[in-house]
Amino acid sequence: MTTRNLTFINQTLSIHSFQTKSLPINPDIVAPDGSLVRNMLTTVGGSMAQFELPPGMISNAVEHRTVSEIWYFLSGQGEFWRKQNEREEIILVNATVCITIPLGTQFQFRTIGKKPLVAMAVTMPPWPGNSEAMSKKGIWNATFVVMRNSSTKVFHSMYLFIITILVFHYIHL
């Protein structure tokens, strides 16, 4: 292989330096669907994050504009609704279940029981920002509504505080 070929391969594959990150203790943001997000790493081809929906919560229904996702559930139990054109299903999700959310799929999820529903997800291409998620009508009434205005950071902080209290309450029942 010539130097020219190696240069082409490196540019094509966009080889970057190694990255390493531990899971953040506190959530980084609240997703448009209402779940708590701990961002992990991002590469040219995709990004990874942990999503957590506290006990008793129902996410907002959303559809992504440009990304597909793969979710692997780590703990908790819940129901996950997916709809793509005329195809629709509700599945039970818990630890060891892996699902796809193809581009153009509306989805919503909710927890069952006293433990948060936690999943690691890969987003392809990388998550471009909250304008990626379009609000949709779900099959359940969401327990969280995303507010998009100048007070979003304050609202998210209040939301995280309330969720912390709810989780503490459920743990000590």
Decide: 94 and 119 in contact? Cβ < 8 Å: no
Per residue in 11-49, pLDDT tens? 445 557 899 999 999 999 999 999 999 999 999 999 999
The CA distance from 46 to 124, in Å, is: 4
The CA radius of gyration of the chain, in Å to the nearest whole number, is 18
Handedness of CA 107, 110, 111, 112 (dihedral sign): negative
Contact of 62 with 85, CB cutoff 8 Å: no
| Cα–chain center distance at 46 | 13
Please name the residue that has the structure tokens 């040219």.
44
Q: Which fold would CATH assign to domain 21-141+149-171?
A: Jelly Rolls (2.60.120)
User: pLDDT tens, 54-99?
Assistant: 999 999 999 999 999 999 999 999 999 999 999 999 999 999 999 9
Burial 75-114 (b: 16+ CB within 10 A, else e): ebbbbbbbbeeeeeeeeebeeebebebeeebbbbbbbeee
Domain boundaries, the chain: 21-141+149-171
Least confident of 58-67, 103-112, 139-148: 139-148
Here the tokens at position 71 are 């979710």
| CB-neighbour burial class of residue 163 (10 A; exposed 0-12, middle 13-18, buried 19+) | buried
Report the half-sphere exposure of 125 (CA within 13 A, side-chain side).
6
Q: Is the pTM here over 0.85, yes or no?
A: no
Gap between the Cα atoms of 124 and 24, Å rounded:
21
